[in-house]
Every structure is written in structure tokens, then in C-alpha cells.
């Protein structure tokens, strides 16, 4: 791809429009570059297209029937919707953690190893090492290391959420998509997750939909404000939260609507 040399972006969204079967335009001509090792926050009112945009990046959007897409999304310079894209490989490299923590039925260990097993990794030593590192990076290792064989459903809400994060990290992805990872968590668990985000971005590129504007301002390196499927404004944390250019952004972060 000829853009490869010009764009240092990890993920590059170009002229992307996405329409559902009922005619709703979820995304309207989005252009966005995400740089390596940044924590990029997508914020805005609900139904503004944040989750849809994230799901396009690893093609979980394929699961929705009757949609139309225009434009390109490049991951490391490669079109993720290209004919030659290995979707399973893409989803391992661009890994999604969902808003509602959803462990798979089975033990904590089963959950941690699922993606690795599906990728065909058989070596027990490699698997165990990845399991431990993933759990440590998600700051849940100390809580579960003695009960890896117990059911993942027995964990608390915050623990489930961190397990789901750890499960993605075990795949050693390049980009982590976090869709409201602290929804339904108490302030202490939220702080734990936010602290680990700071560690994680040393290794990974993180794209996150925050729980609130406050959280967005706390954790973001750069951020984008979305409204009704449009990308209103992109900027660094300083620019966007202290000195927004667009009236709509200012209204939103000062709490005048949404």
C-alpha cells in the first residue's frame, strides 16, 4: 500500500461511512489517525457511533447483517477489509474488551487460554507464561492465582472485567479496544483499572470509550469527540478538554447536554 510510508499511524480511518440496514448512518465520513502507544479516547453521548467505530477496527462489525460501508480502515497500513486480510489474525492483534464483562463458561484458566488455543498454540509453558503475564498486567493475578480452576462466573463484576482484559492481553495484541471498561465498577476498581491503563500503554496502543467525560480527561493522551456519527473534533487532552475549538465539544464537556 502506498500510504504505508506516509502514515506512521497504527490505525488509520479514512472517509469511513457506515450505514445500518434500517438506513441509520452510524458513522459519517470519519477520518482519524491513531498513533502507536497512545491512549486514545473516543467520547460523546450514547449512540454517537463510538462503539461502531471500534467494532469496525477489528471487523466485529461483520456480525451485523445488512450494513453498507464506505471508505478504508488501515491497520499497520493494511486495509482491514481487504480480500487478503486474515480476520482471525486481525482480531488477535486488535483485541476488543466489551462493555459488559462476558466470561465464557468454564474456569478462569479456560478463559485465559481460549484465544491461544484457538490460535493453535499448544505449548503448555508458553500458555502458562502468557496467562500469568496477562493476569498481572490486568492487575488481577494476586486475586485469582490460587483459583485458576474455579468458574469465571464466580468472580465479582470488577474481577470479571479485568479477567476479560487479561484474556485479551494474553493474546499479546498490538491494539486494545476498550468499550467502557469501568461501567458498573465501584470507584476503587475503577482506579485499579485506570492505573493499569497507564502501564499498558507502554506496550500497547489503547483505544477506549470512557465511562464519563471526567474519566476521558483523566486518562486520555489524545481524544476525539463524536456526535450523531460525526467526528466533531480531535486533539490532545489539553486542547480538547481545556480549550475546545468547537462549540458542541465545549457544550458537551461542560455538561450542557448529553
Shortest Cβ 151–another protein spacing (Å)? 7
Nearer to another protein, 67 or 228 (CB): 67
CA distance 234 to 23: 27
Nearer to another protein, 151 or 237 (CB): 151
In terms of phi and psi (left: phi > 0; alpha: psi -120 to 50; beta: otherwise), the region of 215 is alpha
Shortest Cβ 30–another protein spacing (Å)? 12
Footprint (CB under 8 A) of another protein, residues 52-111: 58, 60-72, 79, 81, 84, 86-89, 91-92, 95-96, 98, 100, 102, 104-105
Shortest Cβ 4–another protein spacing (Å)? 14
List 6, 118, 126, 242, residue binding another protein (CB under 8 A): 118
Shortest Cβ 67–another protein spacing (Å)? 6
Shortest Cβ 110–another protein spacing (Å)? 10
CA distance 125 to 207: 30
Other C-beta atoms closer than 10 Å to the C-beta of 124 total: 9
Shortest Cβ 10–another protein spacing (Å)? 18
CA distance 79 to 56: 11
Number of residues that bind another protein (CB under 8 A): 41
Footprint (CB under 8 A) of another protein, residues 216-255: none
Read off the C-alpha cell for 222. 489524545
Shortest Cβ 102–another protein spacing (Å)? 5
Nearer to another protein, 171 or 224 (CB): 171
Backbone angles phi, psi at 33, to 5 degrees: -115, 135
Sorted by sequence, the CB contacts under 8 Å of residue 56 that are 6+ apart come out as 13, 16, 18, 27, 69, 73, 80
Kindly write out the interface string for residues 168-207 of this chain, putting x where it contacts another protein by CB under 8 A and - elsewhere: x--x------------------------------------
Nearer to another protein, 184 or 258 (CB): 184
Binding site for another protein (CB under 8 A): 15, 58, 60-72, 79, 81, 84, 86-89, 91-92, 95-96, 98, 100, 102, 104-105, 114-115, 118-119, 151, 153, 164, 167-168, 171
Amino acid at each position: 500500500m502506498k500510504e504505508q510510508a506516509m502514515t506512521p499511524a497504527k490505525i488509520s480511518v479514512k472517509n469511513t461511512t457506515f450505514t445500518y440496514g434500517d438506513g441509520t448512518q452510524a458513522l459519517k465520513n470519519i477520518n482519524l489517525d491513531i498513533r502507536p502507544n497512545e491512549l486514545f479516547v473516543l467520547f460523546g453521548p450514547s449512540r454517537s457511533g463510538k462503539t461502531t467505530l471500534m467494532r469496525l477496527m477489528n471487523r466485529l462489525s461483520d456480525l451485523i447483517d445488512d450494513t453498507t460501508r464506505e471508505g478504508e480502515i488501515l491497520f499497520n497500513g493494511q486495509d482491514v477489509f481487504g480480500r487478503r486480510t486474515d480476520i482471525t489474525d486481525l482480531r488477535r492483534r486488535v483485541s476488543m474488551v466489551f462493555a459488559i464483562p462476558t466470561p465464557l463458561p468454564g474456569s478462569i484458566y479456560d478463559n485465559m487460554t481460549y484465544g491461544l488455543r484457538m490460535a493453535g498454540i499448544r505449548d503448555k509453558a508458553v500458555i502458562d507464561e502468557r496467562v500469568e503475564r496477562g493476569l498481572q498486567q490486568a492487575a488481577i493475578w494476586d486475586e485469582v492465582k490460587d483459583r485458576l480452576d474455579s468458574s469465571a462466573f464466580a468472580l465479582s463484576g470488577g474481577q470479571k472485567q479485568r479477567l476479560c482484559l487479561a484474556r485479551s492481553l494474553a493474546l499479546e495484541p498490538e491494539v486494545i479496544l476498550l468499550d467502557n471498561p469501568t461501567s458498573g465498577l465501584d470507584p476503587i476498581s475503577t482506579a485499579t483499572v485506570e492505573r493499569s491503563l497507564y502501564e499498558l500503554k507502554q506496550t500497547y496502543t489503547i483505544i477506549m470509550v470512557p465511562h464519563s467525560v471526567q474519566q476521558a480527561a483523566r486518562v486520555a493522551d489524545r481524544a476525539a469527540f463524536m456526535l450523531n456519527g460525526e467526528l466533531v473534533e480531535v486533539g490532545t487532552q489539553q486542547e480538547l478538554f481545556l480549550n475546545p475549538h468547537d462549540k458542541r465539544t465545549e457544550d458537551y464537556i461542560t455538561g450542557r447536554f448529553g
